[in-house]
Chain A
Amino acid sequence: MMTTAAFVLQLVSAVIQVIYIFKKESRDRFSHYFLLASGLLLLTTIVTRSVQIRFVAVTNTFESLVFFSAVIMFILFFIKLKIQDRPASLLNFGVTMLSIALLAIASSPLAPKDILEPIPALQSNWLILHVTFAFIGEAFFAISFISAILTLSSKDVEKKNIFDWVTYTSIAIGYPIFTTGALVFGAIWASYAWGRFWGWDPKETWALITWLTYSGYLHLRFIKKKSGTLISWAAIIGFIFTLFTFFGVNFLLSGLHSY
């Protein structure tokens, strides 16, 4: 019920955003509050389920998607506070639509909504750190994905630069969080659960591919001082790998991460 309400709030926000995108003379002052409310509702969903299962509810696809969407909402809200001008509206709309798509998948039969206590393998504090940090990092990558698309599609140089800056900033913040959560905390948890730090499980392998892609992006940015078209493609490919690491591995490739 709360997830549905959050979904509706995102839809309402998207409609308001579209109106203001076409209404060029005035500035959108409301839509991001719907996003904040949506994020809070999604977070409440996680808290409610956590109380019911007496464990942090990030143990299945549905809960992960809800958490993912909640984090995106909070980041979007702060981006809107930080960037008040029109490019933010386009960015917010694109990311809101992405989040709506994530919640649509969460509501589909692909993601069972049963409230289930975690199986023994998942009962670890390292799991909580691993999953939450990974998704917070990926939420920043989601922002970078849309801003990279907007960088490529914008003809106006000023807008292009703003979107490029958002892409870079999102990846620069998301990368260390993702690295710590997905790789470092994941490796430590694996050593406690399975007796090895790395096992070339499909999810691990694809997470590494994703990490290398974003490492490549940052290398091009930091060392080669590249910006614009080339590295925007790297950001787009990075997020496609992120999505495949999550959905593709969950639904197509079985392994130790198939929960």
Chain B
Amino acid sequence: MLQAGESFALPDGSDITLLSFDIEYYEDGRPRDWISRVRLSSGKDVEEFSLEVNQPLRHGPYRVFQNTFDIRPYAVVVLDKQKYKMGLKDGLETEEGGILYLAGVREADGESTGKFFFIEAPGAKEYKEVTIREGADFKGIRIEELFTVRASGLQIVYQPGNAWIMAVLLLFCIGLAITFYQKLGDGMK
């Protein structure tokens, strides 16, 4: 799972960097496409590609697939004059002992937003959603910024014999056609 600007290395030493990740939605909120713009650096060669579902990136024996995605909420908060960056499911204990959690909630339009949930005491089972605007305080915690970041889930598959398998499938079809051409001629009279 990569966020824009993050990289990972393929086993052959090449690097793939996620430049951007876009999600397109239909009007009813269902996903239309997930598009990862990536940069492949292999030795001195640097190329950019668009990865989509059903359109993997081919690099030697490797295929890189657009596999999944995540929308991750983040909040920058201040507690006791200390600044913290809260991520998904991170909790911060308030001055009164309760815990403020951050979670991503999918909205009706398909987008996710970061929302806060509050548990009165550590270990308590009941929690409630609390609306805290940017710049506001909540039980001693000041919310400076609340935002979401999209992350793209890429899958690397090692497929060294891909062309051979395609050739086998083609031969299989040709063999099937020849067999049936002969047998149908004999048997369907």
Footprint of B on A, CB under 8 Å?
Answer: 116-117, 119-121, 123-124, 126, 165, 168-169, 172, 175-176, 179-180, 184, 187-189, 191-197, 221-222
Contact A169 B188 (CB under 8 A): yes
Q: Pick the contact of A195: B28, B55, B159 (CB < 8 A).
A: B159
Contact B176 A120 (CB under 8 A): no
Q: Pick the contact of A188: B26, B53, B166 (CB < 8 A).
A: B166
Contact A120 B187 (CB under 8 A): no
Known A116-B28, A120-B34, A191-B165; further 5 A-B contacts with Cβ < 8 A: A119-B31, A120-B33, A195-B155, A196-B157, A196-B159
- The binding surface of chain B is classed by DSSP as mixed
Q: Can you name the residue of chain A whose Cβ is closest to the Cβ of B183?
A: A222
Q: How many B residues touch A, CB cutoff 8 Å?
A: 31
Some 6 contacts from A to B, beta carbons below 8 A apart, are A120-B31, A121-B53, A124-B54, A165-B188, A195-B56, A221-B187
Max chain A Cβ within 10 angstroms of own Cβ: one of B28, B155, B169, B188: B169
Contact B162 A191 (CB under 8 A): yes
Distance between Cα atoms of A116 and B63 in the complex (Å): 30
Distance between Cα atoms of A214 and B176 in the complex (Å): 14
Max chain A Cβ within 10 angstroms of own Cβ: one of B53, B159, B176: B53
Max chain B Cβ within 10 angstroms of own Cβ: one of A165, A188, A192, A195: A195
Q: Can you name the residue of chain A whose Cβ is closest to the Cβ of B158?
A: A195
Contact A116 B173 (CB under 8 A): no
> Is B30 at the interface (CB under 8 A from chain A)?
yes
For A180, list chain B residues within 8 Å (CB). Answer: 173, 176
For A187, list chain B residues within 8 Å (CB). Answer: 169
